Structure 1
Amino acid sequence: MPVGPRQRLLEIFGSAVAAVNGHACVRRYLHTHPVAAPVYLIAIGKAACAMARGAQDALGAAVRDAFIVTKRGYAEDLPWPVRVAGHPLPDEASIEAGTALLEFSARIPAAGRVLVLLSGGASALVEVLPDGVDLKRLREINRWLLASGRDIAACNRIRKRLSLIKGGRLAELLAPRPILGLAIADVPGDDPRVIGSGPLTADADLQRPVDSSGLPDFVREALAHGPPAPAPDAECFRQVRYEIVATLEDAKRAAAQAARKLGHEVVIEPEFVSGAAAAAGARLARGLLQSAAGAVHVWGGETTVRLPEAPGRGGRNQSLALAAALVLRGHENVWLLAAATDGSDGPTEDAGALVDGGTIGRGTDAGLDADESLARADAGEFLEASGDLIQTGPTGTNVMDIILGLRTKD
């Protein structure tokens, strides 16, 4: 039976996500770069369980103990306890996990080797706060950051200044033990200083006063309590080896390979799609309408949404897709998929959406207005009514977002 365009795009997206799965990537790296016993494992992030399974498969009994924390709903059965905590907003469980991380680190013998596995979400899931900053204030700051429309690097620039484990401070805590850090890159440029707010990475920026322009008073007040960070030439960083095992470019290449296997020409777009989600969606859709028929276009990136005071349901990919659908309205031969590779678009259980020329009509028939939905940051409600949401569940990875476009012949 012939496979239609929608199913083909979903299959291509699935192949992209599978190529950067944390289990496979960590196992593959450790098979070729084994770590001698005794190994003490620290895994933090949405892909923590998948990455820990990869380490277990590769190292077996060499792993003597493990500390694992992931997002609620993302836990898996492992030989070690798995903690769950809040994301995108840290919660009491995040603070408890921070205390447990300190205790776990203190128990690692001097002869132990530490394997740290980092993936998206790590900044919220574990925290140790300095004196003068409490959980209530931390949540207030994170809520403001998430609504501000700032990108992840700008958000983490604030977060790491308010932490006793971020900004290289975990490396300082674990010193002098040798550390291997393996990360799935969920940030533009695959910058280790930004992934998980850089717990193992030297950051010269932390030696300079923070640029407080545009920050509300309560954020500035909290930053005054920020602890000192280790200098870039500190001894603790000499024992750290850091490798990135999966990236957005890896996922894009896998998407392209899957599309070719389905018989399509492929255009891997070099642009990193960023900025306002709705503007990006409209721009990509206009380009897609003018593109050659039959080719699958592959983009990657991470856009932002500036939230109103009472946002509705949705995330950046849903906003991007709905804005694209407005441009594609009435065109029967064009499709656009925008989805988060971690399976969770914003604070929702939807990965994103796959829209076409009939999306707006279907949602309008259900009594909804697409422009109003975008203005309310409520794209998810419209896309549910139009039947265009994508659900994948936890994927065991997070390399930001994949966007796929296809126009067939009239």
Structure 2
Amino acid sequence: MNPHRDVLLHCFREALEAVNGEEVVRRQLVINKPKGAVHAVAIGKAAAAMAQGARAGLGGKLKRALVITRHGHGDEALSRDGRFLCLESDHPLPGEASLAAGGRLLAFIEETPPDACLLFLISGGTSSLVEALPEGMTLADLQRLNGWLLGSGLAIQAMNRVRSGFSRIKAGRLREYLGPRPAEVWLISDVPGNDPAVIGSGLLTPPREPSPLPTLPAGLSEMVHRAMAAHATPSPSAPSVPARVLATLEDACRAAGDAARQRHCPVTVHGEFLKGEAAERGAALAHWLMHEGRATPGVHVWGGETTVTLPENPGQGGRNQHLALAAARVLSGCPYVTLLAAGTDGSDGVTSATGALVDGGTWERIRAHGLDPDQALSTANAHPCLQASGDLLETGPTGTNVMDLVIAHIS
């Protein structure tokens, strides 16, 4: 057993705890508790945890709440509280449940008394989980667009710019439905720069200045422009909604570093934001750890969000498993480097894994099971390989979502 695996797992667990949705909402309510009766809306992968924080911190001031989260990320304790309506919706590809959730969201706002405070608790995944389409657009159109986006390799800002153009509620348009009701939005950031206008496609925060659409295939481009023409121009008198970001990737990276120091390990927290193709970044990180990194042994922490441009018939996996497998190829036979790559939301692609924890023996363990890891990288099929080698990391839903962490140890 590689003892450095325990160190990396400890760092990852402590990072998750620092940005847990329940805890950050509870802490914020100690500092800033809304006045009067509160009606809460929690949307995203961390919605159930954030709603639990509101339930604990507000007590009887919380009159009712709507919770919309990913399938499998709900909380039965909330469902048993008569004040809560809990919905599970579709992610990463929006579906019928996403449209139903969008309709229920608009109804919940309309049913809220005009003098009551609306507290929105938003986390990553919101873009897929809730939607209201412009006139003339269909679910098939929405799924076709999002299916292309998910395999495009585009950065999250560009993806959300497209999604916003195809929605009646994104890019701040949900403000149009608030009427006179006072509102606040508290967010857990899953985007670089932590811009409230980008997190969850900015339901309550319009972009500071419009950005151009990225290049899209001709058919999709025409469809998005038709959708943009179908929804009304936002009213300049729409109320501004104060936004507060409660947890970020930077918070998680700092917590991982602090956890390593608790184990008396030297620590380097790298400010570089990991992006680009997952396989390329995994290989580059492994090479650096084996060579330049040897001058600074101990724990190294990076944060970010890479992409995988999918082949025509992709296998099973996710960006963190893909990055880890690419790193394992470079690390093969190296006895002094261990690397963890994982999503802070507890999921990685359409698999049950959070990511993977690889070392110098991973590549040969895969081959010993008769699998071809080179082919797996070319077909985006990392999951079966890392499952066979015993290197998958599985946490289940974590109650947060601040993108991905890569934590490595150099002996």
- Per-residue displacement from partner, 1:150-190 (whole Å, max 9, x unpaired)? 11111100001111111101122113211110000000111
Matched-pair contact (CA < 8 Å) for 1:202–1:230: no
Residue in 1 that maps onto 2:49: 50
Matched-pair contact (CA < 8 Å) for 1:307–1:377: yes
Return the letter of the residue paired with 1:274: K
Which secondary structure state, in structure 2, belongs to the residue aligned with residue 189 of structure 1? coil
Mapped pair 1:311 → 2:314: yes
Which secondary structure state, in structure 1, belongs to the residue aligned with residue 239 of structure 2? helix
What aligned pairs does 1:2-401 form with structure 2 within 5 A after superposition? 4-77=3-76, 78=78, 79=81, 80-206=84-210, 210-211=212-213, 213-226=215-228, 227-230=231-234, 234-238=236-240, 240-290=241-291, 291=293, 292=295, 294-401=297-404
- Per-residue displacement from partner, 1:318-356 (whole Å, max 9, x unpaired)? 110011111100011210100000000112210000000
Return the letter of the residue paired with 1:14: R
1:213, CA displacement in angstroms? 2.9
- Number of equivalent positions: 402
Consecutive unaligned residues of structure 2, counting only runs of 5 or more, are: none
1:191, CA displacement in angstroms? 1.2
Matched-pair contact (CA < 8 Å) for 2:162–2:224: no
1:204, CA displacement in angstroms? 4.5
Which secondary structure state, in structure 2, belongs to the residue aligned with residue 223 of structure 1? helix
Matched-pair contact (CA < 8 Å) for 1:118–1:182: yes
1:219, CA displacement in angstroms? 3.9
Which secondary structure state, in structure 2, belongs to the residue aligned with residue 224 of structure 1? helix
Seen in structure 2, the aligned counterparts of structure 1 residues 141 and 19 have a Cα distance that, compared at 3 Å, is same
Return the letter of the residue paired with 2:286: A
Consecutive unaligned residues of structure 1, counting only runs of 5 or more, are: none
Matched-pair contact (CA < 8 Å) for 1:17–1:341: yes
Tell me the TM-score normalised to structure 1 length.
0.95
CA RMSD of aligned residues (A): 1.5
Matched-pair contact (CA < 8 Å) for 1:212–1:220: no
Give distance in 2, aligned partners of 1:50 and 1:401.
19
Matched-pair contact (CA < 8 Å) for 1:337–1:353: yes
Return the letter of the residue paired with 2:18: A
Give distance in 1, aligned partners of 2:239 and 2:222.
29
Deviates more, 1:221-230 or 1:65-74: 221-230
- Per-residue displacement from partner, 1:251-273 (whole Å, max 9, x unpaired)? 00100000001010000001000
Matched-pair contact (CA < 8 Å) for 1:176–1:236: no
- Per-residue displacement from partner, 1:114-140 (whole Å, max 9, x unpaired)? 100000100000111011111111011
1:85, CA displacement in angstroms? 0.7
Give distance in 2, aligned partners of 1:222 and 1:32.
42
Matched-pair contact (CA < 8 Å) for 2:44–2:126: yes
Matched-pair contact (CA < 8 Å) for 1:37–1:63: no
Tell me the TM-score normalised to structure 2 length.
0.95
Matched-pair contact (CA < 8 Å) for 2:348–2:354: yes
- Identity among equivalent pairs (%): 48
